[in-house]
Structure 1
Amino acid sequence: MADLDHSSDDSSVDSREVTSQDSKLDFSEDEEFLITRMFNLVGERWSLIAGRIPGRSAEEIEKYWNSRYSTSE
């Protein structure tokens, strides 16, 4: 039983990590507009786009773009 309790503690940690990652993908309307505009100008040059948005990393912007505009159907 102790093993079961320990494994449930691990899963709660994982869910908190996912929640904190999701909150990082919350972009303002201005940021979304700028990302879309920059993408149309420079393509998938995420570090260049991130340089125009203070406090955002290229990885965050790429994850946002892929989650929002993924073409997998």
Structure 2
Amino acid sequence: MEQYGRCVAASPTSWQTDCHSLRLSMSRPIVQQIRERCAEPFAAFEQCLKENQASVLNCSEHVNAFLRCAERVKVPA
């Protein structure tokens, strides 16, 4: 998830294609936990991306909120 967020931020004009494989790879257990626990900031981030496709830099606050949440999720033992 963190890599996906960084990819989107680094590819403001082509994130839809450049980051597609990262989005598909988000099915591992830790990613699923992050998706569950950070659903709200992730949804806000995705909504911002949809609304700002031409200028994803407008979503930096949303991606930072999501990344802060994701960092708090612990890897399952």
User: Shared fold (TM-score greater than 0.5)?
Assistant: no
Q: Which of 1 and 2 has greater Rg? A: 1
Greater relative CO (CA pairs within 8 A, separation 6+) = 2
Q: How does the TM-score come out when normalised to structure 2?
A: 0.29
